[in-house]
Structure 1
Amino acid sequence: MARFVHEVHMRWSDMDAYRHVNNTAYLAYLEQGRVAMFFDRFESFSSGTVIARHEISYLRPVVYHPTPLRLEMWVEDVRAASFEVHYEVFDGDAVAARAMTKCVTMDFDANRPRRLEPSEREALRGYADVDGR
């Protein structure tokens, strides 16, 4: 499968005093993409996944406009109880940011990480970046 693509709309309130989209707004954009990629499609992820880490590299400022930003997303580094989601955030044709989120599958009753289920591993395999961009 190629990268998962999702569009996110900016809000006027996402801009800060420096007249560009604030860096914290990107966390919401990434979350919207992850929800569309996993949680709307696979129930097991939505019932037991937490975020362990975010990394974002801001490559250029984005100023609000009505055209949505395009997120291209893929999965890397699948382990026993975790995986990484990688992102490129496009403003038009330009990459505005690159990011990574480390997700950990959890057993909330036991309050500890749980191993990925075979169906989850299969879903993650479908999001490997075969384009290699």
Structure 2
Amino acid sequence: MTRHVYSCPLRWSDMDAFGHVNNVVFLRYLEEARIDFMFRLAPGDGSTSFTGGSVVARHEIDYLRPLVHRHEPVTVESWVTKIGAASMTIAYEVKDDQQVYVRASTIVVPYNFAEGRPRRISAEERSVLEEYTDRTSDQQATAAVAA
């Protein structure tokens, strides 16, 4: 299983009055990493895979520790934990070399904006997503919530 790695800079405007990254800003970090991830998945060569739109159906975020301002970027690792017929779940860790600050997941739905409705994940997209799939992390998260 491969993880997508995105280097995310911290901006001065990301900080709140207490000097750490505001909780809402983490959604922006996840968005930046997810968009980078999806654009890198697009196979090119005339393929239409990953070229249409998508919408976010759900976010879940666990804030593990505060992230204070610094000049070094954080790393956002992304991978797939579930592939359905018309949705996928992407998991993330926002971290540096020493610690993990946030664990999160997003349910993404491929969307046909011209028709105004969700669309199914193609066989080619599923094949590419499988390379980034780790279902054990999704099962572990579910078990932790149930405990």
Is TM more than 0.5 here?
Answer: yes
Match of 1:31 in 2: 31
1:1-133 to structure 2, matched below 5 A, reads 1-42=1-42, 44-129=49-134
Structure 1 residue ranges (4+ consecutive) displaced by more than 2 angstroms after TM superposition: 43-46, 129-133
- Structure 2 CA distance for aligned equivalents of residues 110 and 20 of structure 1: 42
- Structure 1 CA distance for aligned equivalents of residues 4 and 69 of structure 2: 24
- Structure 1 CA distance for aligned equivalents of residues 6 and 13 of structure 2: 21
- Name the aligned partner's letter for residue 64 of structure 1: H
- Identity among equivalent pairs (%): 45
Residue 73 of structure 1 and its aligned partner are, at CA, apart by 1.1
For structure 1, the 5+ residue unaligned runs are: none
Residue 131 of structure 1 and its aligned partner are, at CA, apart by 8.9
- Structure 2 CA distance for aligned equivalents of residues 72 and 129 of structure 1: 13
- Structure 2 CA distance for aligned equivalents of residues 10 and 131 of structure 1: 30
Counterpart contact for 1:48–1:107, Cα < 8 Å: yes
Residue 31 of structure 1 and its aligned partner are, at CA, apart by 1.0
- Structure 1 CA distance for aligned equivalents of residues 118 and 100 of structure 2: 34
Residue 70 of structure 1 and its aligned partner are, at CA, apart by 0.8
Residue 40 of structure 1 and its aligned partner are, at CA, apart by 4.1
- Structure 2 CA distance for aligned equivalents of residues 37 and 49 of structure 1: 13
- Name the aligned partner's letter for residue 29 of structure 1: Y
Going from structure 1 to structure 2, the CA distance change for 1:30 and 1:46 (only over 3 Å counts) comes to farther
Higher relative contact order, structure no. (Cα contacts within 8 Å, ≥ 6 residues apart): 1
- Structure 2 CA distance for aligned equivalents of residues 3 and 9 of structure 1: 19
Counterpart contact for 1:3–1:131, Cα < 8 Å: no
- Structure 2 CA distance for aligned equivalents of residues 112 and 16 of structure 1: 37
Tell me the TM-score normalised to structure 2 length. 0.82
